[in-house]
Structure 1
Amino acid sequence: MAPSSDPQADPRANAEDPQARRPLTREPNTSFRQLRGARSPGEFAAAVRRAAREIGEQVACDARYIGRVENGEIRCPNYAYERVFRHMFPGLTLADLGFSARETVRGRGARAVPGTPPIRLVPWQGHPHHQPSDHQNFQNHEESDVLRRAFMTGSTAAVATVSLGLGPAPVHPARRVGEAEVNAVEEAVRRIRLLDDRHGADGLYQRAAQPLRTAYALLEAGAARRSTHERLHTGAGELAISVGWLAHDSGRFEEARSHYAEALATARLAGDPGLEAHAFCNMSFLARDMGRPREAMRAAQAGERAARLVASPRLLSLLALREAGGWAGLGDRSACEESLARAHSQFARGACEADPEWMTFFVEAELEMLQAQCWSALGEWSRAARHAHRAATAQDPHFARNLALYRAELADDLARAGAPAESAAVGHQVLDLLNQVQSTRVQAMLADTSRLLAPHRASPEVACFLERRATAAV
């Protein structure tokens, strides 16, 4: 375990951590400062917020954020801010705006880069200068020998075999964990989330188990600095949730339950309310899918209690939606509507700096989808279909997995609402995405829809869909 003393007060702690001797460099973003011109940071922040509203984004930009960008503290903006800046300054790249390439940023706020290969984490084995053969694509001077990139080429189907694993060698307990190891764990979380968003969980779950085992081995080895150990606790917990989600989405419910419980235990050991809220959020979702609505409701309420310490309205909104799903499963319309009202109220407060990184998926489309699921559980199929349609319309088509999920929900709701031809048409759209998406959840939803549509086979549209779906399922 990590030492309990503060490393700032104990020079021996820093001596054990070579990362502690690395000087922290920060270069001002002069390009961004020039774009601000004569406007004050507050005035420029207001312009950013106006531009965000123009394109349907919500960013909590203020003078402090502008100052952090200009002094170099924010080396690369998140995707929402990037879209806003590109809208404000058409034709300019991130580099033109003075930012670093996203793949070179390793802080906790960094996002994975679409289309780049996944991270493979390898415990140190005494070869600090070893690089992959294609060093132009993979070389990264900010990382140590514990972090390598590896990937397998091919079509989107290659995601099923892409390596997210850590090397088989155990972490030597005598070697203290440093920044590079923690960065590697955090990057593994981002890669898993990105690949799941794009392609679904089925091909990833087995590959993702090894990074999780190594992350907990790193925890056991301990870190020389308290801040590093805290980040490692959070990273390991988030990785457990990510792997749990892959199990969850691919129908391995008991394995998912175990991973979520592991994350919750890690959160409580670390005293991390954000991680605890995340674990309860996923546990609530899982309980709903397992047909345990009361457990789903109570897990969401427990998550809300933890989330109050995080100061993120969006997190509270999502947990209120999870609670609403539990109430809907119990058939309590009044309690469901009360939870939905709280979810809307919190969501309307907008995004803020306290929003956890993992919540980037929680946009208007997801809000609509979760409402659709509530009304579906209450048997109000037409109302559910309206929300599912809004979700599918609002979803960024870049994220094929969620788009397939929302359309599958819409097809099912339409079938139950007595609109078989419309359901079949949406079902075709889901089938169009299956060459990109590997999700047991989506496949199961299509199977249910097919059973609902079977009595309407006399309709040419329905018959065509059923035949195509049967062929695709073989």
Structure 2
Amino acid sequence: MARDGRTVARNTKLTRARGRALSPSGSREPMSRQELAEAVNTYLWATFHRRASLDGSYVGKLENGEHRWPNEQYRQAFRAVLGVETDAELGFYPTRRRRASTVSGPHELKVVGSGGSEGGSRMLVISPDEAAEMLAHLQQQWHILVRADNLFGPRHALTGVEAQLAVLQELMNADVDEFRVPTVRLAAQYAESAAWLHEDADDMERARHWTSQAMEWAYAAGDHTMVSWTAYRRSQQLTADGFATQAIGLAQAARRDEDQLPGPMRAAIRVQEAIGFALRQDESASQRLLDEALSLAGDDRNGDAQGGHGSFCTSGYIEAHRAQCLVLLDSPQRAIEHYEQALPALAPVYRRDRAAALAGKATAHAAADQPEEAAATARMALPMARRAGSQRIVRRLTAVGATLYPHRNLEAVAGLLHELNEVAS
């Protein structure tokens, strides 16, 4: 039975793959349909935190051509459980044919609308010109989503990024060679954005997943700029976990071929390397890198990354991170002075950067044994972080509150602790 062009008469490949897979019970019997469904459910939860309730009947419908093909996450789960590398080995893709023509001309590109195995969708047939328009639109949408992130935070941007990633993943499955590389390149760009948004939402597991995916796609597309950028992003994640040496190594790898990178991106990578050296208590190396970054700083006042990755790395951003390095180097009073200089220099569109700088300044005040100033600064940052949906910054402010708890008799500290309790409740 065929349905919307997305099923085959009988999926013998999937049946054979299941027949070769051993039962998880330890017996030599082939995996049953129910066992396969349960294994896929387990994989989806462990890998994507996605609850699914597939059963043997669902597998049977796939094998008999009575169900639409699964979406990408489901297909990945089937591949992993059955030990195959491609969808073709499971029979999820029929042969795609180009339009017959006696002369050289445009061919059809089939794109399966997203919606997953449970939602309805239809097969779209588009021309190469339409595909090019779609990619141009998605590229422009990326800039809009970056600006939305800077204005409103991950809550507003993440839904759009994930929706566009679903479209790009379907486009990557299309059998048209000339569009594969630009599609994969753009998918890497969106995946890196998804990583950052999850990180700001304090979901580090998903952040690391999308960083790895972005790096894989960037490498597949031969996009050396994005490979460098994903190395930079992974270095940031390692710094947050306290792994200074590994973070420095990845930052240095990210700028190995920096003559090919735009100036603001080179600046951002240097800032990241400087933080790694500060974490390792090497002030000289840290300050030198920050000085170098200033000579490469960007000047993005719109927050839409039209200048490419690293556009956010303005002089204000660099000085705020110089202050962060000074906190790591146990020089909180010097850090406070730099935060006071950096905050007015941050462009208004970078609201989250302002909240992060205020959180850093509060941390510096607390380290300098200035509890009232620390509490007052943290109370300025907290509503900004909440409006931006930045759980990452809220967590930093919660840590400041914990540090100030012994001073809870002070009015400013008591007020901060009350506000933090309201956020947690």
TM-score relative to the length of structure 2: 0.66
Distance in 2 separating the partners of 1:197 and 1:448:
24
| Aligned counterpart, 1:418 | 369
Structure 1 stretch 174-183 or stretch 282-291: which is displaced more? Answer: 174-183
Distance in 1 separating the partners of 2:269 and 2:339:
19
User: Counterpart of 1:466 in 2: which secondary structure?
Assistant: helix
The residue identity in structure 1 corresponding to 2:369 is G
Report whether the alignment pairs 1:221 with 2:174: yes
Report whether the alignment pairs 1:270 with 2:270: no
| Aligned counterpart, 1:184 | 137
Could you tell me which of 323, 333, 341 is aligned with 2:273? 323
Distance in 2 separating the partners of 1:270 and 1:244:
19
| Aligned counterpart, 1:470 | 421
The residue identity in structure 2 corresponding to 1:190 is H
User: Counterpart of 1:221 in 2: which secondary structure?
Assistant: coil
- 8 Å contact kept, 2:297–2:313: no
The residue identity in structure 2 corresponding to 1:299 is L
Could you tell me which of 394, 399, 414 is aligned with 1:443? 394
Distance in 2 separating the partners of 1:187 and 1:347:
24
Report whether the alignment pairs 1:335 with 2:269: no
The residue identity in structure 2 corresponding to 1:327 is F
- 8 Å contact kept, 2:196–2:207: yes
Shift of 1:461: 2.4
The residue identity in structure 1 corresponding to 2:399 is D
TM-score relative to the length of structure 1: 0.59
Report whether the alignment pairs 1:363 with 2:297: no
Could you tell me which of 183, 193, 198 is aligned with 2:146? 193
Structure 1 344/181 Cα, relative in aligned 2: closer, same or farther at 3 Å?
Answer: same
The residue identity in structure 2 corresponding to 1:409 is G
Structure 1 313/461 Cα, relative in aligned 2: closer, same or farther at 3 Å?
Answer: same
Shift of 1:269: 1.9
| Aligned counterpart, 2:339 | 388
- 8 Å contact kept, 1:317–1:343: yes
Could you tell me which of 286, 291, 296 is aligned with 2:247? 296
In our comparison, the structure showing a higher alpha carbon Rg is 2
User: Counterpart of 2:242 in 1: which secondary structure?
Assistant: coil
Instruction: Give the share of equivalent positions with the same residue, in percent.
Output: 23
Shift of 1:173: 8.5
Distance in 2 separating the partners of 1:455 and 1:294:
34
Shift of 1:405: 1.6
Give structure 1 stretches of 5+ with no counterpart: 1-10, 19-122, 126-145, 147-166
Q: Give the total of aligned pairs.
A: 314
Distance in 2 separating the partners of 1:265 and 1:462:
46
Shift of 1:244: 0.7
Residue pairs, 1:338-353, within 5 angstroms: 338-347=288-297
User: Counterpart of 1:190 in 2: which secondary structure?
Assistant: helix
Distance in 1 separating the partners of 2:224 and 2:269:
14
The residue identity in structure 2 corresponding to 1:189 is W
Shift of 1:340: 2.3
The residue identity in structure 2 corresponding to 1:219 is M
Residue pairs, 1:92-107, within 5 angstroms: none
The residue identity in structure 1 corresponding to 2:106 is A
Higher relative contact order (CA 8 A, sep 6+): 1
The residue identity in structure 2 corresponding to 1:394 is A
Distance in 2 separating the partners of 1:241 and 1:233:
12
The residue identity in structure 2 corresponding to 1:269 is A
Shift of 1:168: 7.0
Structure 1 stretch 393-402 or stretch 409-418: which is displaced more? Answer: 393-402
- 8 Å contact kept, 2:184–2:221: yes
Structure 1 181/408 Cα, relative in aligned 2: closer, same or farther at 3 Å?
Answer: same
Structure 1 342/435 Cα, relative in aligned 2: closer, same or farther at 3 Å?
Answer: closer
- 8 Å contact kept, 1:268–1:276: yes
CA RMSD, 1 decimal: 3.1
